[in-house]
A and B are shown apart, each in its own frame.
Chain A
Amino acid sequence: MSSTAVASEALTSQEYIKHHLTNLSTGEGFQAIHWDTLGWSVFLGLVFIAIFYRVAKKATSGVPGKLQCAIELVVGFVNDNVKSTFHGTNPLIAPLALTIFVWVLLMNAMDWVPVDLLPWLISVVTGHEMSHISMKVVPTTDPNMTFALAIGVFILTIYYSIRIKGVGGFIKELTTQPFNHWLLYPINFILEVVTLLARPLSLALRLFGNLYAGELIFLLIATIGLFQLPVHFLWAAFHLLIIPLQAFIFMMLTIVYLSLAHEDH
């Protein structure tokens, strides 16, 4: 959050921002692994699983404890959204929506961690200079993360489309609409495939774009000197909207796409 990096390391603003947008990675090209994205996302996923599993193990239909009340609030919220959109029985959709909502929410919430806090802590502990430490703490600002979620949802969409409608039904859906004439089937197919592929792409890029831009603005604010503190506060307060909203949108679209896959025309 502070601009101490700019002063002490004598980095230009450009270098400072570029440095903060670099992942902690090993390997080259496609074999590279972003350890910060992977580590933080798995850590946050485990936080989600640990809290919810603790409650699930001790869940009582009698008088619930305070933690169970809070967890039930989240579960009830997700369940209501699933029930209002998806009419059918599928044991996967609700837990999937819950996992996405809470996991994405937690990962987005890492945006509130001051951008220089963790690199500074690491430099204090390890003695390395901050300009040599890459640590992107928000996993959803990494397209690998958002695309992994979107591709997971996309695979499930294809799987349920084929399971509910059959291969023939799925191909029929892709070719016979919107223009129901055999001459226009190739055009239908192109249109439908574009629609189909646009879903995971937009899903992944929407989340990535929002969080990446938010992070970038935090970094820009961090370069303006003394006045950054109130501006940081304002931007962080604005993220009270963005963080849950993006998690909610990702969850809702997942439910919508999967219920579309279940609809038989």
Chain B
Amino acid sequence: MNINATLIGELIAFVVFVIFCMKFVWPPIIGAIETRQKEIADGLAAKDRAAKELELAQDSAVAKLKKAKAQAASIVDAAKKHEAKIIEEAAGKAQVEKERILASGHAEIETERNRAKEELRQQVALLAVAGAEKILERSIDAAAHSDILDKLVAEL
């Protein structure tokens, strides 16, 4: 073992290499590594966040769909009820109308019949007078016997 001036030379070389490494080699490389590590970590975190958001969105979509279905069902229900009501109302109105028409028909028939009766009665009276005139071949004082004829007409 012979220690000599080589040691000094190596010491200088060592110091120079270490300083160079510290100034120009280590910082950019470790910086690149750490930046990449951070980027990867951020990317993974973003992925997790996106997955969570997707899940939330799916949940809300399902909820909205359910709500929409319920709403549609209730609308259909209400429409059915309304329809039934309208039909019922229309039926009611029709019934009333029918009754009214029937009633008015009946009334008309009644008045017509009464009028016919009246006409018939008068004609019968005339016929009766004429018949009596013919049968009796005698003139009957229409005025003197009109009270009897009227009574007869009333009885008819």
Contacts and interface: CB of A to CB of B under 8 A. Distances in A.
Interface of A: 25, 27, 29-34, 37-38, 41-42, 45, 48-49, 52-53, 55-57, 59-62, 64, 68, 71-72, 75-76, 79, 91-92, 94-96, 98-99, 103, 139, 142-145, 147-149, 151-152
Interface size classification for chain B? 20 to 34
A199 to B, nearest CB: 17
Interface of B: 1-11, 13-15, 17-18, 20-22, 24-33, 35-36, 39
A142 B17 contact: no
B4 A98 contact: no
B7 A151 contact: yes
The 7 residue pairs across chains A and B that have the minimum distance between CB atoms:
A148-B10, A61-B35, A144-B6, A95-B26, A95-B22, A59-B32, A56-B28
A140 B81 CA distance: 101
Interface on chain A toward B: helix, strand, loop, or mixed SS?
helix
Contact of B9 (A38, A61, A94, A151): A38
Contacts, number: 127
Interface-central residue, B1, B15, B18, by most chain A CB under 10 Å: B18
A33 B9 contact: yes
A213 to B, nearest CB: 13
A142 B6 contact: yes
Contact of B28 (A59, A64, A92, A103): A59
A32 B30 contact: no
A144 B33 contact: no
A38 B10 contact: yes
Contacts of A32: 2, 4-6
B28 A151 contact: no
A52 B15 CA distance: 17
A127 B111 CA distance: 160
Nearest to B36: A61
Nearest to A48: B17
Contact of B6 (A37, A96, A151): A37
A56 B33 CA distance: 11
Contact of A33 (B6, B14, B31): B6
A144 B3 CA distance: 6
B25 A49 contact: yes
Given A27-B5, A32-B2, 19 more contacts: A25-B6, A27-B4, A31-B4, A33-B5, A37-B6, A41-B13, A45-B17, A49-B21, A55-B29, A56-B24, A59-B28, A62-B36, A72-B29, A72-B32, A72-B33, A95-B22, A98-B26, A99-B14, A144-B10
